[in-house]
Structure 1
Amino acid sequence: MRQARDEMSVTPGSRPGTEPGDDSGSPCVWLRADRPQRADRPLSRSRIVAEAMALLDEEGIERLTMRRLAERLGTGSTTLYWHVATKDDVLDLTLDALLGEVPLPAPGGDWRSDLRTLLLAWRATLLRHPWSACLLGRPMLGPNTLARVEFLQAALVRAGLTGRHLTAATWALCGQVTGAATTHAAFRLTAGEHRAVHTHLWTHRDTYPALAAHGRLPDEHDEDDFAAGLDYLLDGIEAATTR
């Protein structure tokens, strides 16, 4: 029974610790009212998040369970569930805490430089925590995430974008960062695996002529590739603002 509790999913309105039929909960931790914190409780949400991040950094996302997290915190599952309703809560809270590590530049006069600084740091932060790539499709509505998207969009407003052009540029840049981090995680191959892929493409060069001749998997140079791709996007945005 305890194992089942550790891994259970909670549907909207059925948070642990709520009465049946209580629909005050939301499936998204960011849209749900926090429970009141009690000074006599030894555990806090911030401590849960810090321990979850340490576990994820050390052992990867496959090892994160509510039971294991409670053991590392030296507490029981009941105490843990007072602060977080589900494992999804823990993941969402921890991902947002990670994004809090992305430094926000002091806004300058050059919107393009501000965006480049932010997005290079954003990518580097995600790569320091490889498990984050598995979570980038989750709702990202936490305060740290929104603060960085706010900075990004405000810089684009300073560039002169509005309306659908602003929306398109915002999500193109966000997608550049999250997509790059996901691709980097997917292609964490050994040198031998890289050689095998290139051999495969060359063997099938009649089917994949461009890839065989020019294709290159993400490798130690992919930071330069990311920066170049980012510049392509910024070049296009800059050109659009001057048309």
Structure 2
Amino acid sequence: MPTRARRTQRRNQVLSRERILDTAIGLLDSGGEGALTVRAMTDRLATGSGAIYYHVGNRDELLDAATESVITAALSTRSAGARATPEDEIRAVALALFDAIAEHHWLATRLTLQIIRNPVGPVTVGIFERLGRQVGALGVPRPRWFDAASTLVHYILGAISQNARVEGDTSGIDPDADREEFFDQTSRAWRDLDAESYPFMHAIVGQIREHDDREQFLTGIAVVLDGLARLR
């Protein structure tokens, strides 16, 4: 028979906030928001719903906490270079957020909702603080800090959310279609456009099938950074 101390230790492990969040993130990763139910959580954790509510609150609060957990980890990323520049740090954070949403497809929607609904929450404040410090380090004048940081945040969130949708998390796109199939269909549709009316679309039709999402994302970061440099 296990001792009372061992039973207490096991119970505390099961009911820890960290364990609950890890379980929630696992459910979200495997099946999206629809998979995150109280019943699924209690089955996975072998506990009652009251314990979950005690540690993280209701389902919306659990989603917010799971989002905060993933984003906080991404924001802790630092550039690998010994003499990292502000540009290096911005790229490191931007790619960490990009990779987090690529890994956790449900995160794009939840992150957007956090930014909109909770501007004083840890996710919104964390993103602006982490990137905003680098905007200041770039030499952008203080009166332009908010506009500059907002432009950077808007580009990052918009670009990574679009990539997340391409990978199948948005209604209107076949969730079973893979990336290559999606871009193949798109390039064929663009090629069928009238060349005289849409010369630009015909000029880039081959590029859509060959482009790398991560490299394209970094190109956008470079464009934004170049623009911020002009504010000095």
Residue 125 of structure 1 and its aligned partner are, at CA, apart by 2.1
Match of 2:92 in 1: 117
Match of 1:132 in 2: 107
Unaligned runs of 5+ in 1: 1-39
Which of 157, 171, 176 lines up with 1:178 in the alignment?
157
2:26 maps to amino acid: A
Residue 110 of structure 1 and its aligned partner are, at CA, apart by 2.4
- Residues in 2 aligned to 1:52 and 1:162: alpha-carbon distance in whole angstroms: 42
User: How do 1:18-97 and structure 2 match up within 5 A?
Assistant: 43-97=15-69
Other structure's SS at 1:173 match: helix
- Residues in 1 aligned to 2:53 and 2:148: alpha-carbon distance in whole angstroms: 40
- Residues in 2 aligned to 1:171 and 1:238: alpha-carbon distance in whole angstroms: 15
Unaligned runs of 5+ in 2: 1-10, 168-176
TM-score scaled by length of structure 2: 0.75
- Quick one: structure 1 residues 108 and 118, their matched pair in 2 at CA, closer, same or farther if it must change by over 3 Å? farther
- Residues in 1 aligned to 2:134 and 2:183: alpha-carbon distance in whole angstroms: 38
Any conservation in 2 of the 1:53–1:94 contact (CA below 8 Å)? yes
Any conservation in 2 of the 1:95–1:132 contact (CA below 8 Å)? yes
Residue deviations 1:40-92, cap 9 Å, x none? 86523222111101111222222111221122111122222223332111111
Which of 140, 145, 149 lines up with 1:166 in the alignment?
145
2:67 maps to amino acid: L
- Quick one: structure 1 residues 165 and 134, their matched pair in 2 at CA, closer, same or farther if it must change by over 3 Å? same
Match of 1:212 in 2: 202
**Structure with the bigger percentage of helix:** 2
TM-score scaled by length of structure 1: 0.72
Match of 1:237 in 2: 228
CA RMSD of aligned residues (A): 2.7
- Residues in 1 aligned to 2:48 and 2:194: alpha-carbon distance in whole angstroms: 58
Residue deviations 1:179-209, cap 9 Å, x none? 1221112112533332222222222235544
- Residues in 2 aligned to 1:61 and 1:181: alpha-carbon distance in whole angstroms: 19
- Residues in 2 aligned to 1:164 and 1:85: alpha-carbon distance in whole angstroms: 39
- Residues in 1 aligned to 2:91 and 2:42: alpha-carbon distance in whole angstroms: 40
Any conservation in 1 of the 2:114–2:124 contact (CA below 8 Å)? no
Report the count of equivalent residues: 202
Match of 1:99 in 2: 71
Other structure's SS at 2:183 match: helix
Any conservation in 2 of the 1:96–1:144 contact (CA below 8 Å)? yes
- Quick one: structure 1 residues 186 and 135, their matched pair in 2 at CA, closer, same or farther if it must change by over 3 Å? same
